[in-house]
A = this chain, B = another copy of it.
Amino acid sequence: MPTSRLDQQLAFLCEIDQLKNVIRQSPLLDGRRKENSAEHSWHLAMYALLLKDYADEQADLSRVIQMLLIHDIVEVDVGDMPIHQMPSATLQAAQEELAAKRLFGMIPGAQGPELLALWREFEQGISADAKFAKALDRVQPLLINVRTGGGTWTENNVTLEQVLERYGPTIQRGAPALWERCEQWVRQHFAALEC
């Protein structure tokens, strides 16, 4: 058991190395393999950095980036829950809450509770920062699917209506201007399938 504050912090940083082995449903853009949750988190932080001006309300970029960096850390314990194969939302939330308590509980002092609170804020999706972060967490896989000829939509026989329903409200709520462009792509993608 690490005893010093620094050693405890480093033990947490080593523990979350496992996020690099959590495989998501989305492919890389070149289709060579599926994306993992660590590199997905990096990419989302870059989305926030580039697209900060599209937040619906005044969002704090630093907090949004921190949220996105930590938003998937619970997957070290519970794995990725694909949007198109959702089990019980209540069960998932309970498992993720347990994982969050264990993982952020490894961090000494005030820092652990602070990051746990930030993770919960993201999950709740109510604050301006959380709404924008959640919107980006939908935009990135949507863009991957559009750019890879369907991606997880094709694999899961997802319809236009299901895409509009599963991505639309979350993106619309946090970044309406992004949803406007996303909706165009989505409709073009499904229209092309009918040709």
Contacts and interface: CB of A to CB of B under 8 A. Distances in A.
A17 B29 contact: yes
A35 B6 contact: no
Contacts of A41: 42
B20 A35 contact: yes
Contacts of A143: 10, 13-14
What is the total number of copies of this protein in its complex? 2
Q: Is the interface of A mostly helix, strand, loop or mixed?
A: helix
Nearest to A69: B45
Closest 9 CB pairs of A and B: A42-B42, A62-B62, A38-B39, A17-B29, A39-B39, A20-B39, A9-B50, A38-B42, A41-B42
Interface of A: 6-7, 9-10, 12-14, 16-21, 28-30, 32, 35-36, 38-39, 41-43, 45-47, 49-51, 54, 61-62, 65-66, 69-70, 107, 111, 115, 140, 143, 147, 177-178, 181
29 contacts: A6-B51, A6-B177, A6-B181, A9-B51, A10-B143, A12-B50, A13-B140, A14-B143, A16-B43, A17-B29, A17-B30, A18-B30, A19-B42, A20-B35, A20-B39, A21-B30, A21-B32, A38-B38, A38-B42, A42-B42, A45-B69, A46-B69, A49-B115, A50-B111, A61-B62, A62-B62, A65-B65, A65-B66, A65-B69
